[in-house]
């Protein structure tokens, strides 16, 4: 689905991502691991258009997407979450969810005046779906709370829910379980697995190897911006290059 070829991005003199090639074809849940500062988030930023690559190309469903702005990526079906959750703190949980659906009629200034019934219908459908997802995430009780009143873990769950609301073809999760308590980690994993059953594909940056082993089919390992290994999680764990990268 995502095809990265010879991607390079440098900041100043240092290469954050260096000649990196990754193919996610035919995979449902792929993992991206590597020591701190190995360029994982930079890679995500490149894929989602927050950064422009220096060279190389990124294809999504066959077409070039590198260099486009993030909103184009979302429209194409590529949604991500952030390492430090970026919910809208001054909006309610439900409003956060309602923001995500793509191509909303009510977001067009012109349609507001002429297609009100359709907007109402879309809104109520989205609302219903949002409440369903919130139920799965255990956030129903909090739906009319401002997002800033949620705990950090709940915010990360909300961010996942919001990503799902967009009905994306691919979700990029940046450390979904970092810094949240074990109960919420369980909710997070189960949500991901449940969505996998429904055919949702994911690309996940994750530090917690237990989580990686549980959910990922295939893992890519970055070190100093270069892909040093890829394979099934169990294989990767034993790979001497990977062990060296983490220890050295």
Partner 1 sequence: MDLLLHLCVIIAIYAIFALSLNVEVGYTGLFNFGHVAFFAVGAYTSALLTLSGVPFVWSLPAALTMAGLCGFLLSIPALKLQGDYFGIATLGFGEILRMIFNNEVWLTKGPMGLPGIPRPEFFGFVFDTLPRYLALSAGFALLTFAILAFVVLSPFGRALKAVRDDETAAEILGKNAYRFKIKSFVIGSVFAGLAGVLWAHYATFIGPGDFTLTETILVLLIVVMGGKGTFPGPVVGAVALIFFQESVRFLRLPPEWTRLLGPLQQMIFGLLLVVLMVFRPEGIIREKGGER
Partner 2 sequence: MDSISYYLQTILNGILAGCIYALFAMGLTLIYGVLNFVNFAHGELIMWGAYFLFLFMAEPFGLPLYVAIIPALALTGCLGLAMDYSVFRPIRRANRLTLLIAAMGLSVLLRNAAQFFWGAEVRTYGFEVIAGTQFLGLYLTTTQFAIIAVTLICVVAVYLLFFKSRLGKSMRALSDNLDLARISGIDTKRSILAAWVISAVLAGIGGILLALDTNLHPEMGIANLIKAFAATLIGGVGNLWGALLGGLLIGLAENIGVLFISPGYKDGIAFVIMVLILLARPYVILGERSD
Judged by the rule CB under 8 A, the positions of this chain that interact with partner 1 are: 48-50, 69-71, 73-75, 79-80, 82, 86-92, 95, 98-100, 102, 104-109, 112, 119, 123, 146, 148, 162, 166
Cβ 8 to partner 1 shortest distance, Å: 23
Taking a C-beta distance cutoff of 8 angstroms, is the pair 66, 48 a contact? no
d(CA 201, CA 90): 30
- Interface characters, 41-70, with partner 2 (x: CB under 8 A): ---------x------------------xx
Cα 24 to chain centroid, rounded: 14
Q: Which is nearer to partner 1, 170 or 212 (by Cβ)?
A: 170
Direct distance between the N- and C-terminal alpha carbons of the chain, in angstroms, rounded to an integer: 33
d(CA 15, CA 43): 11
What DSSP letter does each residue of 127-165 carry, written as one string? HHHHHHHHHHHT-GGGTTSBGGGS-HHHHHHHHHHHHHH
Q: Which does 80 bind (CB under 5 to 8 A by kind): partner 1, partner 2, none?
A: partner 1
User: Beta strand 2-11 with 55-60: parallel, antiparallel or unpaired?
Assistant: antiparallel
Cβ 164 to partner 1 shortest distance, Å: 12
Q: Which does 106 bind (CB under 5 to 8 A by kind): partner 2, partner 1, none?
A: partner 1
List the structure tokens of 58. 């990124």
Size of the site for partner 2 (CB under 8 A): 6
List the structure tokens of 34. 């590597």
Cβ 50 to partner 2 shortest distance, Å: 7
* Binding of residue 198 to partner 2 (CB under 8 A): no
* Binding of residue 243 to partner 2 (CB under 8 A): no
Interacting residue ranges for partner 2, rule: CB under 8 A: 50, 69-70, 86, 89-90
């Amino acid at each position: 689905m995502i095809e990265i070829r010879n991607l390079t991005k440098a900041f100043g003199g240092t290469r954050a991502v260096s000649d990196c090639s990754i193919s996610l074809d035919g995979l449902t849940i792929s993992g991206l691991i590597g020591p701190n500062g190995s360029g994982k988030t930079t890679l995500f930023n490149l894929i989602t258009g927050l950064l422009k690559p220096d060279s190389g190309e990124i294809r999504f469903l066959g077409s070039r997407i590198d260099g486009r702005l993030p909103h184009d990526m979302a429209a194409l079906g590529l949604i991500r979450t952030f390492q430090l959750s970026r919910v809208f703190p001054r909006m309610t949980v439900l409003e956060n969810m309602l923001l995500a659906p793509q191509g909303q009629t009510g977001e067009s200034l012109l349609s507001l005046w002429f297609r009100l019934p359709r907007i109402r219908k879309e809104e109520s459908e989205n609302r219903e779906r949002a409440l369903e997802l919130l139920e799965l995430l255990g956030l129903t009780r909090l739906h009319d709370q401002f997002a800033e009143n949620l705990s950090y873990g709940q915010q990360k769950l909300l961010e996942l829910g919001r990503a799902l609301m967009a009905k994306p073809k691919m979700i990029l999760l940046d450390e979904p379980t970092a810094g949240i308590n074990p109960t919420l980690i369980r909710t997070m994993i189960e949500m991901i697995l449940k969505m996998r059953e429904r055919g949702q594909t994911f690309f996940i940056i994750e530090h917690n190897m237990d989580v990686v082993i549980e959910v990922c089919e295939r893992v890519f390992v970055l070190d100093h911006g270069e892909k040093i290994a890829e394979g099934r999680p169990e294989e990767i764990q034993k790979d001497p290059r990977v062990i060296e990268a983490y220890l050295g």
